[in-house]
Structure 1
Amino acid sequence: MKCCKIAKGQKVLGKLNDKETAKFIRSTAKNPSQRLTHINRMVHQQKFSQDPNLQGLEFSISDKVSHSSF
């Protein structure tokens, strides 16, 4: 799961140059185990399984993640 929040009125000014692209990739690249750890931490902190809005929509996010897909 990935989440990106765009500020109201934010504009894309154009293509990143090579240096900016490399910096962006380095800052976002994570190996699968690091990504899974980050996702698990976020799900636990946000308590999605207890969110009344998600429950009202009959939507749920499990607190348990399977490692078998890696």
Structure 2
Amino acid sequence: KAQEWGDQIPTGVFYQNETLPTYEDRITKRIPSYRETPPAKQKICNDDGTPTANLAALLDELRVT
């Protein structure tokens, strides 16, 4: 099994579906600002370290009493 590929291991596109738009195009259709501000470039906290998102409503919904 270790010698299955020989000296080189093939890399690249093994399957490409030409009938679907790319993942980035599909996301951009749903979130128009995605290309300008992808998640990796979005600010998640203020300068003092407090989060920019308010999750209080979500946490209240998930609270078990």
- TM-score, scaled relative to structure 2: 0.27
Larger CA Rg, structure 1 vs 2: 2
More helix by share: 1
Q: Tell me which of the two structures has the higher relative contact order, counting C-alpha pairs closer than 8 angstroms and 6 or more residues apart.
A: 1
